[in-house]
Amino acid sequence: MGKLASLALDSLPTFKCLIPSLGKTVTMRSFVVKEQKLLLIAKQSESDKLEGVVNAVSQLIQNCITIGDINVSELPSFDIEYMFIQLFMHSTGTSKTKTFYLCKNPVLDEDGKPKLNDENEEITCDQPNGVVVNLKDAKVSTSEIQTGIIDVKSSTIDKLILKYPNFEQITRHDISIADEDVDTTLKVYAECMTYVYKADGTVLKLGEDYDIEDAAEMLELLSKQIFDQVMGFFMNIPSITGHTDFVCRKCNHKAKIGLRGLNDFFS
């Protein structure tokens, strides 16, 4: 890096940013034009757009951490969401973004009853509306963050230790067990089963004592009661949340829109 480039980088303002899952802060700098361009290119790319955006967001956050020994790729998805919003606000100087919302207000007939389509479903307004979102309202409820300890208490297994999926995993996969691709769901669960505590006190670690395929097979052999606890952990992953008020420009319907995840804050 040249002398002038180093001067420019060193002149960038820094700020403290909380990592919700860890309850600790790191020092971050604002992102630069060059880094913002990489994110825009990733969003506009037609080839594997999702992978490009995921990698760009993660790398952007990693680049901008100046004090704090953190591997961003290992952080839960909600940490990345929260940190990206904080980084965006500090880097751009704005706390407002614009997203789009389809009005779901039922269309009424002359008698004031909802109109139905040929499938006997309610017809809704479906007018697209631009909605202003205040990024300062984005938050992660720390009370929703679980430990990931699943007590088994059997004659062979004491407990399982789970971690939350990272940004790449949760962006790529629907981790609901109701999803048609059950094998993919189980694989994501297995990737996040980091430790197995045996009843005799021995601790087994993912990647050293067992692999993902072994973990997936074990999950399939758990009792329904224990597996329901595993599934409950993944079905209640925290996310950034917020809300905004909305008035439809077509039917004048007023509503408060709940926002959850980066996609609801940035369109």
How far is CA 108 from each of CA 105, 116, 124, rounded to the nearest angstrom? 9, 9, 9
- Residue 194 and residue 73 in one domain: no
Say yes or no to pLDDT of 91 above 60: yes
Give all strands of the β-sheet with 24-29 in edge-to-edge order. Answer: 14-19, 24-29, 65-67
Cβ proximity of 161 and 149 under 8 Å: yes
Residues 169 and 39 in one domain: no
Rounded mean pLDDT, 160-186:
75
The answer to whether residues 84 and 49 belong to one domain is yes
Query: In which domain, by residue range, is 44 found?
Result: 3-94
Same domain, 81 and 101: no
State the Cα–Cα distance between residues 90 and 72, nearest whole angstrom.
19
| Percent of the residues in the chain that have a pLDDT greater than 70, as a whole number | 88
Give the mean pLDDT of 118-132: 90
The more confident residue out of 229 and 265 is: 229
pLDDT tops 60 at residue 133: yes
73 shares its domain with 86: yes
Report the range of poorest mean pLDDT among 15-29, 35-49, 155-169.
35-49
Residues 45 and 90 placed together within one structural domain of the fold: yes
7 vs 78, higher pLDDT: 78
CB 204 within 8 Å of CB 218:
no
Q: Among 59, 79, 94, identify where a domain stops.
A: 94
Neighbouring C-beta atoms of residue 44, cutoff 10 Å:
10
Are 62 and 7 found together in one domain? yes
Write down which residue in 28, 62, 94 finishes a domain.
94
pLDDT value of residue 28: 95
pLDDT at 101: 87
Q: Are residues 72 and 18 in the same domain?
A: yes
Question: Do 10 and 82 reside in the same domain of the chain?
Answer: yes
Cβ(136)–Cβ(89) below 8 Å: yes
Residue 191: other Cβ atoms inside 10 A: 16
> Average pLDDT, stretch 86-103?
91
Rounded to two decimals, the pTM is: 0.83
Please give the average per-residue pLDDT across 147-173, as a whole number. Answer: 90
pLDDT for 5:
63
Number of independent structural domains in the chain: 3
Work out the pLDDT band at 118, boundaries 50, 70, 90.
confident
Domain boundary among 34, 59, 94: 94
Distance CA 27, CA 135 (A): 20
